[in-house]
Amino acid sequence: MAGCVQGGSLNLKQLEYFVAIAEEGQITAAARRLHISQPPLSYELARLERELDTQLVRREPRGVSLTDAGRLLYERAGTILSLTTATAREVSGIGRGITGTLCLAVAPGCAGLVPTGRLRELVERHPDVSFEVRDAATPAAIELVQSGIAEVGVVRTPFSSAGLRCRYAPAEPLVAVMPPALETGGELSVSLAELSGAPLVCDRRLAGTVRGALGTAGATARVLCETEDERTTCAWAAAGLGVGLVPRSLLALCDTAGCYIKVLLEKDLESRAAVIWKAGRTLSPLAERVVALLGELT
């Protein structure tokens, strides 16, 4: 039957080999990455295509490209390999106390809150502890936690907490990062109405809320640029392209290059960071300790 594996189940080595080929775009380069010779890798790829009864790559003069089936397998293989690593790490850590590696998914808008000094103390006290940090926007970070790849995540509202356990930080205001040429408002604060006419730069998830608040305030400012990472928002503001809107804690990481920093007065644009983990999941001792140490991210 087409699509079924005839010679048994897919194994992790096959998936690892295929991921290397997909990412390198050349079988020779993939073989170097895997520290094997090219003929066995070519054989394994052909074998995998026979077992799945479908073509996974197109052989081209300068390498290979993925077919639709190959792209699907690449996406699923990455998830399977990550989940396998996470599972092995957690199982081996049970009963060994605070040790091992914790996969932590962190949204860019929370980068000013994580890591904390408490995590430094943890590493100092437990030298066998290490971290694998996945930088991911809030929706992607939640997916990593729900899929089991990451044990713990740090994300920012708004998000759906269905299927999650959450510990929320206090509400945090947005700040306006203003290039000198676009400076307006009071000495320490500014309202959206006072930003009327100014080009704005903000995170993509925030853009819709900002547009709605602008309409309510009767302001005519426009969102010039939507970013995936609030640190990029600061960079655009520092370059003079617009007024950046970011959580206040992010300023600890950003070079605002002489910009004016003012708290946005609109309370409905405040957000909260949150430590999340999957509801019903038994956390490893290390994950439990990290959740306790992160607390309310203050």
pTM: 0.70
Do residues 217 and 191 lie in contact, with contact meaning Cβ atoms separated by under 8 Å?
yes
Q: Encode pLDDT of 71-84 as tens digits.
A: 999 988 888 888 78
pLDDT score of 94 more than 80: no
Question: Average pLDDT of 193-217?
Answer: 88
Phi-psi region of 291 (alpha: psi -120 to 50; beta: other; left: phi over 0): alpha
Q: Which of 49-53, 88-92, 232-236 has the highest mean pLDDT?
A: 232-236
Mean pLDDT value across residues 216-229: 86
Could you tell me which of 54, 38, 41 has the C-alpha nearest to residue 14?
41
Could you tell me the pLDDT band of residue 170, with boundaries at 50, 70 and 90? very high
Higher pLDDT, 86 or 243: 243
* pLDDT tier, 215 (very low <50, low <70, confident <90, very high otherwise): confident
Judge whether residue 8 has pLDDT over 60. no
Residue 2 has pLDDT above 50, yes or no: no
Residues 267 and 176: beta-carbon distance below 8 Å: no
Count of positions (residues) in the chain: 298
Predicted confidence band at 4 (pLDDT cuts at 50, 70, 90)? very low
Give CA 186 to chain center in angstroms: 35
State mean pLDDT over 219-247. Answer: 92
Look at residue 163 in the predicted model and tell me its pLDDT: 93
67-81, 94-108, 128-142, 228-242: segment of lowest average pLDDT? 94-108
The separation between the first and the last C-alpha atoms of the chain, rounded to the nearest angstrom, is 57
Structural domains in the chain, sorted by start: 12-70 (1.10.10.10), 94-170+273-294 (3.40.190.10), 174-269 (3.40.190.10)
pLDDT score of 5 = 45
